[in-house]
Amino acid sequence: MKNLKIIGMTCESCVPHIKQALENVPGVKSAVVSYQQGTAQLDIEPDTSSEALIAAVTALGYQAAFHKGPAALDKTDDHLHIAVIGSGGAAMAAALKAVEQGARVTLIERGVIGGTCVNVGCVPSKIMIRAAHIAHLRRESPFDDGIAATEPAIQRSKLLAQQQARVDELRHAKYESILENTPAITVLYGKALFKDDHSLIVHMTEGSEREVTFDRCLVATGASAAVPPIPGLKETPYWTSTEALVSSTIPERLAVIGSSVVAVELAQAFARLGSQVTILARSTLFFREDPAIGEAITDAFRTEGITVLEHTQASQVAYVNEEFVLTAEHGIVSADKLLIATGRTANTRGLALEAAGVTVNSQGAIVIDKAMRTSSPPIYAAGDCTDQPQFVYVAAAAGTRAAINMTGGEAVLDLTAMPAVVFTDPQMATVGYSEAEAHLKGIETNSRTLTLDNVPRALVNFDTRGFIKLVADAGSGRLIGVQAVAPEAGELIQTAALAIRARMTVQELADQLFPYLTMVEGLKLAAQTFSKDVKQLSCCAG
């Protein structure tokens, strides 16, 4: 038997055409074509021409290749079997790609299908942030003189119901329904741990125990909120982002411990929905980024009435008479609710990774290479449980590449032009190197910062908060990094990422055509500042 991988089938109607074409090749006894698995199993004579088989498929407009390498699928007993632990972005991408590559998959989930992003992360948080933004605009906007502002009536229970309905809808459409309609994926509900490097023990949710043997395994168990060791904290009913996002009420006073993505996004959302918010930042907001980013976001927050306490740590937390009392260097902070948003920790405990020879770092994250391989050859890992950046699109890309590699391919994940967005208002977005990061790599830089009062879109919006900063290699002029704080910064950063990926110089970026009165035009204007004074240009000067 030979197993031919076929790429390009769009529906079941493709199957009979491919089957007939293959069976017309001299030496082919029979062909079993699977649309779901993207394969054709061939019973052929020993001297059958491989080139003729591939040509028969490509003549129909598809792509075809025989599986090669250590993960070869041309076995007489069964397909390659891949176990996937988890069901989030990395897990689903890997499972679907593995099936496309001709493998069969056992997917193991200990909780709710869909992982962090759709259930308790990206989707519900962005819904809440959007609702808070609408509330803010009704309360205050640059056009209040001509459009009377009104104080919005916040009905949190209805907002929460709307939010959860959309979460449920997306989870079903993008996860549950797909799994239900992919026969090559078997879903087990339970907690998995390694027995050795080729088998798992699954403690099923319904109480039984099951052993799963595999040829390859992907660990994609995600991460959970990290809780700092502050005295008294664990004895209090604090929130992580999970509890905050499903709260049916908006607290009058909210304290937030943290200074990065989750902390700032939810702090502003709750403030705009009616909470008096105090942020306790161990250093400054976004202290790992270009300092101008933290300064701009801090200024925007303080303008909205959010209290930002920089260089402040809680040394003690108590919960007395339904009130949180935080003891800090500069006094006491009292609040009705406390949100802990100090990062996330890989979900690797309890997997018995040591039994499979899988190495983790000092933070418990699985160490992988650019091909998502762990220290144990049959086992791969992807997503937030690894030492990769914790973004769902990174996880999904890693999962896809892991599946390619588990089925005999050679794919790597290049993160040199990875865009990142924080959904505050104004938004923060970055890609590539900051000046400090470039200098640590020994790269001499040339940079320019354009404030938004030089961007026509920002001027007509009457909202010039923020800046766009370009970092270039001093020798070649090639763009190597962009940092932006701007309304809709997330919509312009991908253009910057593409420019970096294309190895464009700032002059080449300045020479591009950008539509007038768009925020992304700010990239062109920022690039022009390397050679001219944009204040002396007409509105849409090229």
Q: What is the predicted pLDDT for the residue at 518?
A: 96
Q: What is the predicted pLDDT for the residue at 71?
A: 36
Residues 199 and 193: their CA atoms lie apart, in Å, by 9
Predicted confidence band of residue 68 (pLDDT cuts 50, 70, 90)? very low
Q: Based on the residue annotation, tell me whether 540 is a catalytic residue of this protein.
A: yes
Q: Based on the residue annotation, tell me whether 319 is a catalytic residue of this protein.
A: no
Residues 15 and 4: their CA atoms lie apart, in Å, by 13
Q: Which of 1, 204, 238, 540 is catalytic?
A: 540
Q: Are 223 and 345 in contact (CB under 8 A)?
A: yes
Q: Is the pLDDT of residue 541 over 80?
A: no
pTM (two decimals): 0.85
Q: What is the predicted pLDDT for the residue at 137?
A: 97
Mean pLDDT of 501-505: 98
Residues 56 and 317: their CA atoms lie apart, in Å, by 71
Identify how many contiguous H helices and E strands the chain contains and give both numbers.
16, 25
User: What number does CATH give the domain 2-66?
Assistant: 3.30.70.100
Q: Based on the residue annotation, tell me whether 1 is a catalytic residue of this protein.
A: no
Q: How is the chain split into domains, by residue range?
A: 2-66, 77-226+343-415, 233-341, 420-536
Q: What is the predicted pLDDT for the residue at 256?
A: 98
Q: Based on the residue annotation, tell me whether 9 is a catalytic residue of this protein.
A: yes
CATH 3.40.190.80 fits 420-536, yes or no: no
Q: Which of 92, 117, 504, 519 is catalytic?
A: 117
Predicted confidence band of residue 67 (pLDDT cuts 50, 70, 90)? low
Predicted confidence band of residue 74 (pLDDT cuts 50, 70, 90)? very low
Residue 374, CA distances (Å) to 198, 365, 381, 396 in order: 14, 11, 7, 17
Predicted confidence band of residue 47 (pLDDT cuts 50, 70, 90)? confident
Mean pLDDT of 60-77: 53
Q: Are 110 and 192 in contact (CB under 8 A)?
A: yes
Mean pLDDT of 39-56: 88
Residues 5 and 485: their CA atoms lie apart, in Å, by 46
Q: 475, 474, 487, 542: which is closest to 509 by C-alpha?
A: 542
Residues 33 and 12: their CA atoms lie apart, in Å, by 10
Q: What is the predicted pLDDT for the residue at 377?
A: 96
* pLDDT tens for each residue of 401-433: 999 999 999 999 999 999 999 999 999 999 999
- For the domain 233-341, what is the CATH superfamily, name and number? FAD/NAD(P)-binding domain (3.50.50.60)
Q: Which of 14, 35, 189, 319 is catalytic?
A: 14
Peptide bond into 142 cis (omega under 30): no
**Residue 362 backbone zone (phi > 0: left; psi -120 to 50: alpha; other: beta):** alpha
* pLDDT tens for each residue of 96-155: 999 999 999 999 999 999 999 999 999 999 999 999 999 999 999 999 999 999 999 999
All residues at 6 or more sequence positions from 525 whose CB lies less than 8 Å from its CB, including other chains: 450, 454, 455, 468, 534
Q: Based on the residue annotation, tell me whether 217 is a catalytic residue of this protein.
A: no
Number of Cβ within a 10 Å radius of residue 433: 23
User: What number does CATH give the domain 77-226+343-415?
Assistant: 3.50.50.60
Same fold, 77-226+343-415 and 233-341: yes
Mean pLDDT of 158-175: 98
Predicted confidence band of residue 305 (pLDDT cuts 50, 70, 90)? very high
Q: Which of 1, 35, 122, 504 is catalytic?
A: 122
Q: Quote the DSSP letter at residue 356.
A: G
* pLDDT tens for each residue of 170-226: 999 999 999 999 999 999 999 999 999 999 999 999 999 999 999 999 999 999 999
CA quadruple 126, 129, 135, 141: dihedral sign: negative
Q: Which of 175, 217, 428, 539 is catalytic?
A: 539
All residues at 6 or more sequence positions from 38 whose CB lies less than 8 Å from its CB, including other chains: 5, 6, 7, 9, 99, 100, 101, 102
